[in-house]
Structure 1
Amino acid sequence: MSMIDPECVRQLLDSRHQDATLVFVRGDCVVLPAAEVDDAHRGLVIASREEVAAQLPDEGPPDEQALEAVATRLDNIVRDLGA
């Protein structure tokens, strides 16, 4: 079972915050502004919107396949963190 899915990636990309960050908290992906990530959760940061956007094609909005590929990579990061 995936911990990070395409919907998590979509939420990160669609966030209204310029510094949107994906954080894994108690089994859920949460999108927060980077300034709101406290010391207790800093180690649970998975990726910033900028990092995720760099993994996506430049032309047009990402399709489901691209979101799925990024979600799989982010899911592996979460697993490496020991979640």
Structure 2
Amino acid sequence: MVTEVGADVGAVVSPGMETDVATDVATDVEADVSTEMGTEVAPDVGADVSTEMETEVAPDVGADVSTEMEAEVVAVTLLLG
């Protein structure tokens, strides 16, 4: 996911948007992902997306969340990771 989407997202998301993107992603993940995933994912996405979280989150979130959300998660991964 990072390889395919990351380059484009990285080009359009400026460093100044980092806080807004992190907030949007945390909110969207809580709202759109199952309760079990929301509890596990939302705090980590809001704070920092590690390589471990990237691997764990991408398949599950990618299946349940819109394409737009996938791009936002990648953006936070690139900005905070």
Considering the TM-score relative to the shorter chain, is it more than 0.5? no
Report which structure shows greater RCO (CA 8 Å, sep ≥6): 2
Q: Judging by fraction of residues, say which structure has more strand.
A: 1
Choose 1 or 2 for highest CA Rg: 1
Q: Judging by fraction of residues, say which structure has more helix.
A: 2
